[in-house]
Amino acid sequence: MKLLGIYIYNYLQFKDFEIDFTYPEFHVKAGKPLDKICFIGRNGTGKSNLLNIIQSNIFDLYNQETLGDFIYNIEISGSEFYFVKTKGGYAHLFNKGIDSIQGWKGLLFTNFDGNLNKFDESNNVKRFFVDDNTITERLKAKKDSGDLLIYIPSEGNQNLYSQITDVPDTSLNEALKLFNSFDYHHVISTDTVKNFWNILTYQIKKRENDLREFEKLDGNLDKTVREVQSLFDEKNPQILDEIAILWNKILGKANLEFDSKNASNPVQLNDNLKAYINLRGENRRIGYNQLSSGIRNFIFTLGHVYSLYFNREVKNGFLLIDEPENNLYPDFLYDLIETYLNIIKETQFFVATHSPIIAAQFEPYERIILDFNEDGSVFWRNGETPIGDDPNDLLSKDFNIRSLLGKEGVKKWERYIELKLTIPSVVDKQQKSKLLDEFIQIGNAYNFSSNEVS
């Protein structure tokens, strides 16, 4: 299932707000749901609110209470539907055979009383009715399944990352509970590092169980232990080794490395997974609380996402990240989206950002730029600049930042233009040379265009 669009009748800053999440007509996937979407917009335009609306409703539209009136345009197994949910708690599914949703939105919210037979048919709306059980089965995400909804807010309520003096405070007993029930909905933040450590431990123990079952297969009974182990290892990597590959690309820039080889596997129920970061090439441990906040937050977030996809057949995935650039130096940002895309599969990916470096990693039709109407409501448009363009172009065209200079920079630009206009008319050679030196000095310092001045 993927989201094709959403219509918001009247909620917060969204008034009669309809947004399209499909590939444009010129694309080979025209009309199909976008695989990744980037929300851009000034503070208050509702980027975070949109992420919240999607993450809180998309996988459990039928059972959750609504915060307002919404119409979701969704694709299920290649077929397109409108899923309608109103303040009264009514929810029904209509097929795509609706000639136009323009006009019937108002009918829907004024005349629809939850009984499909009483729906106003003045617009000849074609409809496809499914009973409650069918809606639940087709739309409600389930535990221990291929459904996965991950939400990463811009910040948690408390920063538990910085308090980790050893490893996250949990135990094997906590991790083993995941064998009984593995949820589909996960919030990744500074508050949930314990959950990440539990999943790592669970993945380690699950691999041990899978190996025992593999050893019992008829075809393996006559093989040596080494042969069976080798065959199993070919298709079943160790999660800590994979996390090390992922983390060391980041840690290596600080001459650090994740020591997966010497990790201590928990055995007793009150044991904890012990896995640490060392100085590269040395057996000198670096505490997680000693890492910079940007690196520490990033590796835990990235590792948490990776652990949820590891060795899992995801069929319906949603990943929503609010401001992934938080606390990260720009050189970490240029391939950040690609890093996430290499992890996720069968997943619709939503990002809200203030960073032109992040936004530049999306096609212009994947960028949803939010802005205010005169009445304070919000409208949207697509981006303009091509994918991979200079972030400064995005700042001026997509972010609508007309000047990238600070106040002193503006003064220097005004002086630069003044000199450019003045120098040609100066007769005194010494004075002209002095002004020309100043002109060149400002141009070099601020990278202003240095057109020839005679």
Residues of the chain with pLDDT under 70: 58-72, 76-144, 156-164, 402-403, 449-454
Residue 134's domain comprises 2-144+346-397
* Residue 156: predicted pLDDT: 64
Q: Tell me, yes or no, whether 327 lies in a domain.
A: no
Q: Could you tell me if 137 and 168 lie in one domain?
A: no
Q: What is the CA radius of gyration of the chain?
A: 28
Measured CA to CA, the distance from residue 247 to residue 348 in angstroms comes to 24
Q: Could you tell me if 414 and 432 lie in one domain?
A: yes
- The 3 state secondary structure assigned to 320-358 is EEECCCCCCCHHHCCCHHHHHHCCCCCEEEEEECCCHHH
Measured CA to CA, the distance from residue 175 to residue 169 in angstroms comes to 12
429-446 and 407-422 are packed helices; what angle lies between their axes, rounded to 10 degrees?
150
Q: Taking the C-alpha atoms of 381, 384, 389 and 390 in order, what is their torsion angle to the nearest 10 degrees?
A: -80
* Residue 449: predicted pLDDT: 67
* Residue 451: predicted pLDDT: 55
pTM over 0.75: yes
* Residue 59: predicted pLDDT: 58
* Residue 163: predicted pLDDT: 64
Q: Tell me, yes or no, whether 426 lies in a domain.
A: yes
Q: How far apart are the first and last CA of the chain?
A: 66
Secondary structure (3-state) at 8: strand
Q: Could you tell me if 174 and 279 lie in one domain?
A: yes
Q: Tell me, yes or no, whether 438 lies in a domain.
A: yes
Total number of domains in the chain: 3
Q: Could you tell me if 190 and 220 lie in one domain?
A: yes
Q: Could you tell me if 204 and 168 lie in one domain?
A: yes
Q: Could you tell me if 168 and 294 lie in one domain?
A: yes
Q: Could you tell me if 69 and 137 lie in one domain?
A: yes
Residue 80 near residue 96 (C-beta atoms within 8 A): yes
Q: Could you tell me if 187 and 250 lie in one domain?
A: yes
Of 256, 281, 309, the last residue of a domain is: 309
Q: Tell me, yes or no, whether 336 lies in a domain.
A: no
Query: Which residues, including other chains, have CB under 8 Å from residue 96's CB and lie 6 or more apart?
Result: 79, 80, 81, 82
Q: Could you tell me if 39 and 92 lie in one domain?
A: yes
Report CA-CA distances (Å) from 4 to 9, 263, 288, 333, 377. 17, 44, 41, 28, 22
pLDDT in tens, 194-233: 999 999 999 999 999 999 999 899 888 888 999 999 999 9
Of 283, 309, 335, the last residue of a domain is: 309
Q: Tell me, yes or no, whether 328 lies in a domain.
A: no
Mean pLDDT of the chain: 80
Q: Could you tell me if 222 and 269 lie in one domain?
A: yes
Structure token pair of residue 230: 């080798």
* Residue 347: predicted pLDDT: 93
* Residue 76: predicted pLDDT: 67
CA-wise closest residue to 250 among 162, 329, 167, 355? 329
Q: Could you tell me if 298 and 166 lie in one domain?
A: yes
Q: Could you tell me if 207 and 288 lie in one domain?
A: yes
DSSP state of 30: T
Query: Which residues, including other chains, have CB under 8 Å from residue 99's CB and lie 6 or more apart?
Result: 123, 124, 126
pLDDT in tens, 117-129: 334 444 333 333 3
* Residue 415: predicted pLDDT: 86
Render 261-311 in DSSP notation, one character per residue. EEEE---STT---EEEEEETTS--EE-GGGS-HHHHHHHHHHHHHHHHHTT
Q: Tell me, yes or no, whether 340 lies in a domain.
A: no
* Residue 122: predicted pLDDT: 41
Structure token pair of residue 226: 């080494």
Query: Which residues, including other chains, have CB under 8 Å from residue 230's CB and lie 6 or more apart?
Result: none
Q: Tell me, yes or no, whether 149 lies in a domain.
A: no
Of 309, 335, 356, the last residue of a domain is: 309
Q: Tell me, yes or no, whether 247 lies in a domain.
A: yes
* Residue 289: predicted pLDDT: 85
